[in-house]
């Protein structure tokens, strides 16, 4: 598995198992042992995730909240017979005529390191299946994406408690798909959920004092809808400067509460409204585009008999912006690391091979964070480009390949054109390795 991981990191084309075997020089041997790694008998996804979390805890401060994020993504497939495959909307199609494509649905479960000067990364800890109800039968149960998120939250809380971090706050970031009553009911002591909500979400005030007769009221009067607060006079808006990846954004926000969400009468929540703004769109020729307001619900905590926010409002504003790191992780895993290209079609391997690639991506990201934090990584200054402000996953792969290609077995360099015949055996070896490497790729 370690050799196969090196092949995944050094491959330039499609990252299939066969291409990785050829890259590491195993083309003349029996390939069956490589594919048997993903039959479910050699390793389990939860075991790998447990090891990765133990390593991540070494870089996880105990005096700060542990922030995690959950988001669903689809891995494209080509056959309806593959386990867990179902139809989902295809991206990139015209708005007036949506199309479908075959995919497997997974939920990315990641940890966000503390923000430093507006920088953080989504380090993937688990990549759990959330197959749709009408998908092809698979070795794992069909689950909703919020059910997977609830399982991950519970798993994280149990591991933090077992590691002596019972007093550490666990904060979960999610989009509108995780604003579910079941998610709010699953929150235990020391857990916070920050979820995007609908603009017409039904909210109610807290019930008044008990009059002493009849059944206690679960809800108070109905509160305005979240979108109604946008029409509030300008004097009630607040402005905060939030650093995001080397830039500073001035956010217009409003906090209201406490409320009770519909079907969640035992969990008071705050409503955070981030006002709309205009932005320059590169895809539309630099024209200004209006960005709609967004709404978030945050469960409140009780201190000395009063409900209050679990975190300072500036930290909450920073974290709701940084949730976009999950989308960056999806793009890097699919476009730069070959997620879903392993060509394993078995009942177990079709799932486990995808989870292994996501786990390897998380392990590499954690290693890069431990080495570079949020610096630019290795020096890459050129005459026309000063280098990036922070490292990307391509930076990680480039650094690994640079070190691997210094080994004689992986060195694939072109010696250039010379006027005389090469006499050195080392120079002949370099040319031979270059030819072999180009043939394997």
Radius of gyration (C-alpha) of the chain in whole angstroms: 25
Torsion of Cα atoms, 306 then 311 then 316 then 320, to 10°: -100
pLDDT of residue 276: 83
pLDDT of residue 40: 83
Alpha carbon distance 164, 184 (integer Å): 25
C-alpha angle with apex 352: 350 to 356, nearest 5 degrees?
Answer: 125
Q: What's the mean pLDDT when you consider all of the chain?
A: 89
Q: Which tens digits make up the pLDDT trace of 186-202?
A: 999 999 999 999 999 99
Alpha carbon distance 171, 316 (integer Å): 10
Task: Supply 404's token pair.
Answer: 């691997």
- Judged by average pLDDT, the poorest of 50-59, 128-137, 229-238 is 229-238
At residue 397, does pLDDT exceed 60?
yes
Alpha carbon distance 9, 397 (integer Å): 6
The mean pLDDT of 366-389, rounded to a whole number, is: 84
Determine how β-strand 247-261 pairs with β-strand 287-291.
unpaired
Q: Which tens digits make up the pLDDT trace of 69-127?
A: 999 999 999 899 999 999 998 887 787 888 999 999 999 999 999 999 999 999 999 99
Torsion of Cα atoms, 372 then 325 then 272 then 153, to 10°: -90
The distance between the two most distant Cα atoms of the chain, rounded to a whole number of Å, is 104
Alpha carbon distance 191, 58 (integer Å): 21
Reported confidence tier of residue 174, pLDDT bands at 50, 70, 90? very high
Going by the DSSP 8-state scheme, the letter that residue 7 receives in this structure is H
């Amino acid at each position: 598995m370690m050799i196969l991981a090196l092949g995944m990191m050094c491959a330039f084309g499609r990252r299939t198992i066969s291409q990785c075997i050829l890259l590491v020089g195993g083309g003349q041997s029996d390939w069956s042992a490589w594919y048997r790694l993903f039959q479910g008998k050699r390793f389990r996804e939860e075991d790998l995730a447990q090891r990765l979390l133990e390593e991540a805890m070494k870089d996880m401060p105990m005096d700060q909240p542990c922030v995690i994020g959950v988001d669903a993504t689809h891995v494209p497939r080509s056959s309806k017979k593959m386990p867990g495959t179902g139809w989902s909307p295809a991206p990139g199609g015209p708005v007036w005529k949506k199309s479908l494509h075959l995919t497997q649905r997974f939920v990315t479960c990641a940890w966000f390191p503390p923000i430093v000067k507006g920088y953080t990364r989504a380090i993937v800890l688990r990549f759990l299946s959330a197959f749709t109800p009408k998908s092809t039968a698979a070795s794992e149960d069909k689950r909703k994406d919020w059910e997977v998120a609830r399982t991950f939250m519970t798993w994280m809380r149990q591991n933090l408690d077992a590691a002596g971090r019972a007093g550490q706050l666990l904060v979960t970031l999610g989009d509108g798909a995780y604003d579910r009553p079941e998610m709010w009911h699953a929150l235990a002591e020391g857990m916070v959920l920050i979820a995007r909500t609908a603009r017409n979400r039904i909210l109610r005030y807290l019930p008044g004092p008990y009059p002493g007769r009849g059944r206690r009221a679960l809800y108070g009067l109905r509160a305005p809808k979240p979108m109604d607060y946008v029409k509030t006079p300008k004097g009630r808006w607040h402005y905060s400067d939030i650093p995001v990846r080397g830039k500073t954004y001035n956010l217009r926000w409003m906090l209201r509460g406490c409320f009770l969400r519909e079907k969640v009468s035992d969990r008071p929540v705050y409503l955070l409204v981030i006002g709309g703004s205009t932005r320059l769109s590169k895809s539309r020729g630099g024209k200004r585009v209006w960005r709609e307001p967004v709404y978030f619900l945050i469960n409140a905590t009780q201190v000395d008999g009063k409900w209050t926010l679990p975190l300072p409002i500036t930290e909450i504003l920073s974290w709701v912006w940084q949730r976009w790191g999950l989308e960056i992780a999806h793009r890097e895993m699919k476009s730069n690391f070959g997620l879903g290209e392993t060509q394993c079609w078995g009942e177990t391997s079709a799932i486990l091979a995808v989870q292994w690639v996501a786990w390897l991506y998380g392990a590499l990201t954690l290693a890069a964070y431990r080495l570079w934090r949020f610096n630019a990584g290795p020096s890459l200054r050129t005459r026309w480009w000063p280098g990036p402000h922070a490292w990307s996953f391509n930076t990680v792969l480039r650094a690994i390949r640079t070190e691997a290609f210094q080994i004689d077995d992986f060195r694939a360099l072109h010696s250039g054109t010379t006027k005389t015949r090469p006499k050195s055996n080392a120079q002949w070896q370099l040319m031979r390795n270059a030819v072999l490497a180009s043939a394997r790729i």
